[in-house]
Amino acid sequence: MYTFIPKNGCTTMRVSLAIANGCIRDPSEYAWVHQNNATFVASLRELVRAPFTFVILREPLRRLASVYLDKIVERREPFWHLNGLLHHPDRPDEMSFRRFVLAVLRPDILRADIHWRPQVDFLVYDEYDLWVPLERFATFVPEIEARAGLTVHDARDLTRHDNTRFEQVADRCYADASPHEIRAMRREGRTPDHLALYDAELRADVAETYAEDASLYRDRTGPNE
């Protein structure tokens, strides 16, 4: 039983589950999983009887930075959702990482979108058979495949949602860089490193708001390497 948490390798896992269950033939049909989000919602009986349970966690600073670079800079659906919540959809290129963080940390917005909602909200079980840190996901793939009885298909090259296809740049703090500036960098094959989006103040604010996520990650997976 896999617990879905957005921005934690979820497309790779959903594609893998869809192939294993005969819903799609191969990873090229990955778009199916985004159109059928409720297909693999488990019943209470299935949850109770699951022989193997696992969840993928992510270091919270990196997860929030990933949301920004993927969903906000690239103007995907969560970007427009957030702009609507803030009542200024006419100023898309003013949404720096700092503005984004200050917005999503508001109590009325923190849980308004699954992509930045705290990871602890998605947990189904108090205990899982396997807690997987996304940052070391590849080392856990053999165990997941053996215990879950499926093949893990890496969907990153298809969805192009992740940061690994770019050169990671950490030459300065990018907290106040505009989405336009970052998109220009990405067109040249470069992007801010996740942690280069933070200054000390933003780190402290995110650490406070996502303290439960940070504790869960540290306690269940060990320190981030």
Q: How far apart are CA 94 and CA 83, in angstroms?
A: 11
Sign of the four-CA dihedral 95, 170, 63, 37: positive
Taking only Cα atoms into account, the Rg of the chain, rounded to an integer number of angstroms, comes to 18
pLDDT level of residue 172 (50, 70, 90 thresholds):
very high
How do residues 191-209 score in pLDDT, each as one tens digit? 999 999 999 999 999 999 9
Structure confidence at residue 224 (pLDDT): 55
Q: Which residue has the tokens 């100023």?
A: 91
β-pairing, 167-169 with 190-192?
A: parallel
pTM over 0.75: yes
Q: Average pLDDT of 106-112?
A: 97
Does the pLDDT at position 88 exceed 80? Answer: no
Structure confidence at residue 94 (pLDDT): 87
Q: For the chain, how many helices (H) and strands (E)?
A: 11, 5
